[in-house]
Amino acid sequence: MDYIAIHKKWGKYWAKNGTNKYDPNAKGEKYYCLQMFPYPSGANLHLGHYFNYAVCDTHARFKRMTGSNVFQPFGFDSFGLPAENHALKTGTHPRANTVKNIEIMKRQIDTLGHMHDWDNAVNTCEPEYYKWTQWLFLELFKAGLAYQKNALVNWCSKCNTVLANEQVLGGECERCQTQVVRKNMKQWFFKITDFAEELLAGLDKLDWPEKTKTMQRNWIGKSVGAQVWFGDIQVFTTRIDTIYGATFLVLAPEHPLVGKYVTDKQRKACNDYIAKAAKKSDIERLGAEGEKTGVFTGGYATNPVNGEKVPVYIADYVLATYGTGAIMAVPAHDERDMAFAKKYKIPIIKVIDAEGDCADGVLVNSGKHTGLPSAKAREQITKDLGSKAEAKTTYRLRDWGVGRQRYWGCPIPIIYCDCGIHTAEIPVLLPEIDDFKPKGAAPLANVAEFVNCKCPKCGKPARREVDTLDTFVCSSWYFLRYPDAKNDKEPFNKKTAAKMLPVDKYIGGAEHACMHLLYARFVTMFLKSRGYINFSEPFTSLVHQGVILGTDGQKMSKSKGNTKDPSEYTSVYGDDILRLFMLFGFNYVEGGPWNDNTLKTVTRFTERIATAIKDVRKGETDKELLYVMHATIKSVRHDLENFSFNTAVARCMELLNAIGKTAGGTSEAVRTLVLLTAPMFPHIGEEFWEMLGGKPSVFDQPFPVADEKYLTRETVEIAVQVNSRIVGRVDIPSKADQKAVEKLCSEFIAGKIVKKVIYINGKLINFIV
């Protein structure tokens, strides 16, 4: 087959006839099928893109054929570091690069047969889009949820920018692996913490991978406990039941009360320690392996439950940003406190009698609370401490730092004037400049025409904000824009959003579990709270594709030299065969190492379908083929619905084999096979449909429906064993019970004494004689 010619032919046909256009008024229930949009940083699509876009398109086309009105838009996440770093490397302007790359990627997305409609495309670096990203910022600002504060931020000295906590992996910048340092800076934040409880509660109802939900739960990190005052030091604890065993307190090195407790004698040691701690990342500080270090302040506080004096230490395993930045340490029941107490020779008092050291149990050594079970004791002690304790729930989730000191991003629409901080008229356009290199300060600060403006309130000279927004802000709402991508009056029409959203199926990498997916949920909840939309969860159902590894079993990467260029395959076989190969060669959610042995299998399969079409025989379909055909329809429907593509292809191969074996007519089965496989190789599918005499597009045909009445075979063949060795096979009526089967097998046991019969329904009978 001339695959390349087939691709050209149908690509042209679709373009000319608008086959892939989305008609909001077409019949069928809307089905919003969305794949995470790509960064146009490198020029060419890689195999990961194919695995996401081409393979998922098979699901979308299947949904279309089963009667849904499928909306499967496409766009580009084009602001941000990847595009900017690429531009820095190649020396070209990020805009020029981005525009060029988008054109190339668009062509590739077209040729791979993705069923989308460029009329609905979004491109986040264009003012038509980012004007509304700025609108979102202003909405948050007006609601008091976008604010500035001085904060210790994660700073990457190579990217010259602030990173969100989520962008720091193992203490390193997720992009360039440079050690991240902490820097105190005034930053813009979104108050995602206001939605912590809703973000947590919403997870229960979502059809998402359990692992991803768990990651979000841990990231939000809800802790139910109490705040307790040891004098003026307030600690947060989840185990107030252990308070009689609190033999010391620990303040984070950054804690504001450190100065008050440090004695003259201890001052130098403390200052040295604080300086050292400032250089470590939170991850290093919390690491379980690391030795617990700290220093005595020389000061003491009072345990409110028994009036005893406890020494106050500084240690970096207590984080300033969590809870109250101070803890009561209970070495008998907390591993870190134990390690610390042993090192500094602090008393260890056991106060809980339990299976494990850290488990709940019954209180001992605990004054009047002795004998209470832990849960009851937590309640009672909190109550008995009166104003010195208070039940408290905390979250690990921090507000989202959104300011970036980079050029290639969405400008923050804020104006500073001596008379105050004001919102700017949008869009605030990103100026086209030549020197966009990061210098530690925002590159926009050097662009006088941009910075200098008139105060919208008093008319005096004022200055624009020069930080740009984290690119995750751009992608936190794009799914709302797609159904209304050309709207120049508002970010999206309320009615359209109500009709088209939420997204029914969202597909993308698992690495987005705690950033993009959390931010998008937050923005959705926020917009709902403002009455713009009527739903609080953007993505009803989520699928993560697996990772495709190199032939060596390692993650594909240029540095390892194990990458595969898709064009190596597509230039010979066209995109459809690559798609079919990916469908067949991998478990979609598991991924796995690249192995092109099965490439032959799928081309042979395709060629053999072509032959079956040419050799099609009129006449009645025999019973056996009808059975296989309907069983295949049933499985393929299930598999394409559930992203089990490899098994769907395998079942179609079985049907093809059955067609090859039958003595009866084949036209009905061949027609069914062509319809079942069409979504798996869309161009070839159209060609096959035409070869059968069908009128294009095959994707306007209904997907075959299994008829249950063919799914019970009248007879089945079972294996007959005597003493567990196979002695023959017999055909039995499929409804026959064990007694009837035994009778049919009597010839095998003639003259023998049967001691026991093992019958596996419809498969095997074993006579023990």
Using CB under 5 A, list all residues that contact Zn ion. Answer: 417, 419, 455, 457-458
Closest CA to 650 of 615, 676, 669: 676
Q: In the set 242, 247, 662, 666, which binds ligand ANZ (CB under 6 A)?
A: 242
How many C-beta atoms lie closer than 10 Å to residue 609's C-beta?
Answer: 25
How far apart (Å, rounded) are the C-alpha atoms in residues 445 and 451? 6
Does 330 bind ligand ANZ (CB under 6 A)? Our answer is yes
Q: What's the helix, strand, coil split of the chain in %, to 5?
A: 40, 20, 40
Does 223 bind ligand ANZ (CB under 6 A)? Our answer is yes
Does 327 bind ligand ANZ (CB under 6 A)? Our answer is yes
Q: Residue 458 binds what, of ligand ANZ, Zn ion, none (CB under 5 to 8 Å, by partner type)?
A: Zn ion
Q: In the set 82, 171, 323, 413, which binds ligand ANZ (CB under 6 A)?
A: 323
Mask for 744-763, x = binds ligand ANZ (CB under 6 A): --------------------
Q: Which stretch binds ligand ANZ (CB under 6 A): 290-298, 323-331, 511-519, 741-749?
A: 323-331
By the 8 A CB rule, do 294 and 251 touch? no
Q: In the set 99, 169, 319, 549, which binds ligand ANZ (CB under 6 A)?
A: 319
Q: In the set 315, 318, 466, 640, which binds ligand ANZ (CB under 6 A)?
A: 318
DSSP 538: S
Q: Look at strands 461-464 and 452-454 and give their pairing.
A: antiparallel
Q: Dig out the tokens for 741 from the structure.
A: 């089967």
Q: Which is nearer to ligand ANZ, 81 or 328 (CB)?
A: 328
Alpha helices in 18-114 (DSSP H): 47-65, 81-90, 94-111
Q: Which stretch binds ligand ANZ (CB under 6 A): 315-323, 342-350, 534-542, 632-640?
A: 315-323
Residue 254, classed as helix, strand or coil, is coil
Q: Which stretch binds ligand ANZ (CB under 6 A): 95-103, 129-137, 329-337, 566-574?
A: 329-337
Q: Residue 417 binds what, of Zn ion, ligand ANZ, none (CB under 5 to 8 Å, by partner type)?
A: Zn ion
Q: Which is nearer to ligand ANZ, 34 or 226 (CB)?
A: 226
By the 8 A CB rule, do 370 and 363 touch? yes
Q: For 309-436, list the strands marked E by DSSP.
A: 309-315, 326-329, 352-353, 362-363, 389-395, 400-401, 403-404, 410-411, 414-417, 420-423
Q: Which is nearer to Zn ion, 402 or 412 (CB)?
A: 412
Assign residue 723 a region (left: φ > 0; alpha: ψ between -120 and 50; beta: otherwise): left
How many C-beta atoms lie closer than 10 Å to residue 224's C-beta?
Answer: 10
- Shortest Cβ distance from residue 88 to Zn ion (Å)? 36
Does 304 bind ligand ANZ (CB under 6 A)? Our answer is no
Q: Residue 457 binds what, of ligand ANZ, Zn ion, none (CB under 5 to 8 Å, by partner type)?
A: Zn ion
- Shortest Cβ distance from residue 286 to ligand ANZ (Å)? 7
Q: Residue 238 binds what, of Zn ion, ligand ANZ, none (CB under 5 to 8 Å, by partner type)?
A: ligand ANZ
Q: In the set 146, 257, 312, 328, which binds ligand ANZ (CB under 6 A)?
A: 328
How far apart (Å, rounded) are the C-alpha atoms in residues 491 and 475? 14
- Shortest Cβ distance from residue 234 to ligand ANZ (Å)? 11
How many C-beta atoms lie closer than 10 Å to residue 84's C-beta?
Answer: 26
Query: How does DSSP assign 441-493, residue by residue?
Result: S-GGGG-HHHHEEE-TTT-SEEEE---EE-HHHHTTSHHHHGGGTT-SSSSS-
Number of residues that bind ligand ANZ (CB under 6 A): 18
Q: Which is nearer to ligand ANZ, 20 or 237 (CB)?
A: 237
Q: Which stretch binds ligand ANZ (CB under 6 A): 235-243, 517-525, 533-541, 723-731?
A: 235-243
Q: Which is nearer to ligand ANZ, 323 or 427 (CB)?
A: 323
Does 281 bind ligand ANZ (CB under 6 A)? Our answer is no
- Shortest Cβ distance from residue 330 to ligand ANZ (Å)? 4
427: preceding bond cis by omega (within 30 degrees): yes
How far apart (Å, rounded) are the C-alpha atoms in residues 436 and 430? 11
DSSP 621: P
Q: In the set 157, 178, 179, 238, which binds ligand ANZ (CB under 6 A)?
A: 238
Q: Which stretch binds ligand ANZ (CB under 6 A): 122-130, 176-184, 320-328, 524-532?
A: 320-328
Query: How does DSSP assign 413-438, residue by residue?
Result: -EEEETTEEEEPPS--PPP--S----
How far apart (Å, rounded) are the C-alpha atoms in residues 632 and 478? 38
Q: Which residues bind ligand ANZ (CB under 6 A)?
A: 223, 236-239, 242, 252, 318-319, 322-323, 325, 327-328, 330, 333-334, 358
